[in-house]
Amino acid sequence: MTEIEVRDPDPTEPGALVGTSAPAAAEPGPESPYKNLLVPLVVVPALIVMVLVLVFVLFGAIAGKEDSPRENLDRLLHGGFNERKQAAFNLVRQVLEFRRASAQGTPPEWEIDASFLPELRAARGEVDEPRSPKDVPIPLVLSSLLAQLGEPEGVEQLAALTTLADELDPEREYRMYAAMTLGAIGPELDGPTRELAARALIRLLDSPDGALVLVAIAGLQTLPSPDTIPALQRMLTSRALEQRASSALSLAVLGDPAARAVLMEMLEREPYEEERATDPHKWSPQRVSESRCKALAALRALDALDPGELRRLAEDDDPNVRRAALSPDGSEPNQ
């Protein structure tokens, strides 16, 4: 399963290695709560980490006994403030661990059977339309759980939540959660539902929030649709290196050779140095090395790397790039 990982970056490196709308969407501004999140250029492990981190951001978590999923669902709807926080965190964790255990064929700690879905659907129906930012987290978490348990209406609700107005989502954290979840479950969605999710993320490419744009680009690699590749190709002309680089890598995952020119650009040091000259917080040596290795892996996957270029990279002064170039299977070194 392809998933989205959110990692704690080095606090001295607020730049992200990923991926706007038109050629120049805005960078994540200083006010963005996600300016320090690293969304990988290639969307890989850990849905459970991503969702739990974001639920923690939305609700926090407090110590207390662990109730059953049904008890947590009831407390999420009807408990006091701290009870709702704890219930949201526990319920998301229980559903995700159930999904993981089911995928691995191991007994889950909590049994979430078919009878739980109608209760979850009914609970979502009980929630009023949000009138202020504090009203958003509960319907957002319930819709996310429905979507993760295979309910198309949960996907529809998440897609709608990516269009929240600034009045309901002033820091854009709720739209971020909805977008990341859609990208994370992309491989599990069928045709019409997948196209609905893809359209939602494609709309976000026009967001003025660069962090949302990056998450949308990353998520689209799990959501092939008639519009996905043209939208990502449009992003290859972004003035922001992280955005066109992320788009190229997402296109490479989808097997589109249009990514090659930007991937070749990513192998060189000059583009990173140019951006770092205008923002010294961007593109630390570690991030440059990681980006170059990812570009190398993507080019090999596309069978678009000239043997002479590969020999040159095998003599590069970056040991990570050398190892990646010399690796028989083209795998990236551990960063």
In a domain, 195, yes or no: yes
Cα atoms in the Cβ-side hemisphere of radius 13 Å centred on 192? 4
* pLDDT, tens only, 159-186: 999 999 999 999 898 998 899 889 988 9
| Residue 218 domain-assigned (yes or no) | yes
Asked if residue 53 belongs to a domain, the reply is yes
Asked whether residue 133 is assigned to any structural domain, the reply reads: yes
Contact in structure between 90 and 105 (CB atoms under 8 Å): no
- Domain with 136 in it: 46-223
- Token match 């951006």: residue? 275
Here the CATH number for the domain that contains residue 124 is 1.25.10
DSSP lists the bridge partners of residue 38 as 7
Q: What is the DSSP string of 218-283?
A: HHHTT---TTHHHHHHHHTT-SSHHHHHHHHHHHHHTT-GGGHHHHHHHHSSHHHHHHHHH-TTS-
Domain assignment of residue 198, yes or no: yes
Q: Evaluate whether residue 279 is within a structural domain.
A: no
| Domain count of the fold of the chain | 1
The pLDDT tens digits along the chain (335 residues) read: 333 333 333 322 322 323 323 333 333 333 433 443 334 433 333 444 555 566 666 666 555 567 889 998 998 888 887 788 788 888 888 888 888 888 888 888 887 877 899 999 999 999 988 999 989 988 998 999 999 888 999 999 999 999 999 999 998 989 988 998 899 889 999 999 999 999 999 999 999 998 899 989 999 999 999 999 999 999 999 999 999 999 999 999 999 999 999 999 999 999 999 999 998 988 999 989 999 999 999 999 999 999 999 999 999 999 999 999 998 765 555 54
Q: Is residue 211 part of a domain?
A: yes
**Assigned domain for 185 exists:** yes
